[in-house]
Amino acid sequence: MGFQPIKDIQSIFLHAVAAVHPAQLMRNNVRVQDNIIFISGDKYVLPANGRVLVIGAGKAAAAMAQELEYLLGAHFPLQGMVVTKYEHALPLQYIQLLEAGHPVPDENSVAATVKLLEIAAQAQSGDLVIFLLSGGASALLADFPEGSNLAEVQQLFDLLLKSGAEIQEMNVVRKHLSQIKGGQLAKSIYPATLCTLILSDVVGDDMSIIGSGPTVPDPSTFADTLAILRKYHLTGKIPDSLQQHIEKGVAGKLPDTPKPGAAGFRHVHNYLTGTNHIALEAAADKARELGYHPQVLSSGTTGEVHTVATALVKKAIDYKGPLPACLLMGGETTVNVTGTGVGGRNQQLALAAGIALSGHANITVLSGGTDGTDGPTNAAGALVNEAIMKNAAALQLDANSFLHNNDAWHFFSKAGGLIVTGPTQTNVMDLMIVLIE
């Protein structure tokens, strides 16, 4: 078999992304039989006056809503609203669709939150509310404490994104500045029955963290929030109004987010329908089909992007198993942004890997976001091998300078290697793929 690493590695990535597309995942988890709705095997029977209300938020919300309309629309009158990221819209027949800002919220994020809460407040006993949740919801649903404003929340989000904080930490902070996150949406929907279908974009698939857990009890506290801000030296940098709100919460002058056992969760059912693990298994299947020996290393990769890249390349260099091989990892790395360039964590990882694999022409590395978006760029990520690095050198591109300036997009746009998929309508974190010949 003639192996084509550049073509093969892209094929493996795209096959993995297709396996976690909402159309496939919704079909796997939702069906109707005799006017009974089955969600992940559980039965939901609506009373004569019961309604199906659909709400949602995230990068995959439009695709999830579109498939839900296909599955349920012929059987039940659907109504509701979902919000997704700009350029992720899809045509919907029954459900209203809004687009808003991500990763930093904007005025549409606030408007979508107001509308979603209005729909939630209309839910009555006997209604079934289906909430479609995927990564990105923390920005797409935005509100702010009394005495603050959107600009101040935008400032905090931007500081968190550049601090190196992990998504779990960022979402703890977000939950304690909101009236919808951290289980508070579920509280507003009670006593209606609420089913949340979730695509996980966080390591460990903690449902209280995904999208800041609007329908999940929140174990974190205001004290945790303050500790995170102190850890990343943000307490003197965030707006005073937000600082004061958190300090009031720590002092017990504000109610904390609802905790496990609260009455508002009595009729709540949260279903994990899409994960990074599903994508990795699909990647392994495709690699095997192409003649590679796949090995899934981890679906929970975290850590600083340069450290992860160096360790991954070392594992490839030291690999002693059957060839050709395909090493697979999933997760979400972090970048402490100190430069002024353009890029994202996947492009940064690929560039660091390219530097580390010098002298090893048999290794090809790809790092890409399953959502098709890597940082504020048009790329999902990048792939790299020694040929691309040699081409960069011939073009007099100093890889280390681009790396230190967080400017991987400009590096790969000149040297070659950018992976551009456009919006994929899904989001289960990142995939890191290594082919070894």
- State how far the Cα of 369 lies from the Cα of 330, in Å rounded to an integer: 10
- State how far the Cα of 225 lies from the Cα of 165, in Å rounded to an integer: 12
pLDDT recorded at residue 165:
87
Q: What are the mean pLDDT values of the chain's consecutive 10-residue runs (437 residues total)?
A: 90 97 95 95 94 97 97 96 96 98 93 97 96 95 95 93 87 96 96 97 94 97 98 95 97 97 95 97 98 97 96 98 98 91 97 97 98 94 98 98 98 98 94 98
The backbone torsions φ and ψ at residue 272, rounded to the nearest 5 degrees and listed phi first, read -85, 110
For residue 114, the enclosing domain spans: 23-143+178-220+257-274
Question: Alpha helices, DSSP H only, in 93-146?
Answer: 107-122, 137-140
Taking 3-state DSSP, the helix, strand and coil percentages for the chain, each rounded to the nearest 5, stand at 40, 20, 40
Number of domains in the chain: 2
Please list the residues that pair with 272 across neighbouring strands: 198
264, 318: one domain: no
Task: Establish if 73 belongs to a structural domain.
Answer: yes
Task: Establish if 381 belongs to a structural domain.
Answer: yes
What's 45's domain CATH number? 3.40.50.10180
Please list the residues that pair with 295 across neighbouring strands: 327
Asked if 291 and 3 touch (Cβ cutoff 8 Å), the reply is yes
What's 365's domain CATH number? 3.40.1480.10
- C-alpha 415, offset from chain centre: 28
pLDDT recorded at residue 65:
98
pLDDT recorded at residue 163:
87
46, 187: one domain: yes
103, 209: one domain: yes
Q: For residue 338, give both structure tokens.
A: 């100190």
Sign of CA dihedral 196, 202, 204, 206: negative
pLDDT recorded at residue 303:
92
Three-state secondary structure call for residue 360: coil
pLDDT recorded at residue 103:
85
The backbone torsions φ and ψ at residue 261, rounded to the nearest 5 degrees and listed phi first, read 95, -10
Give residues with Cβ within 8 angstroms of 110, minimum separation 6.
Answer: 142, 143, 144, 150
Sign of CA dihedral 338, 343, 349, 354: negative
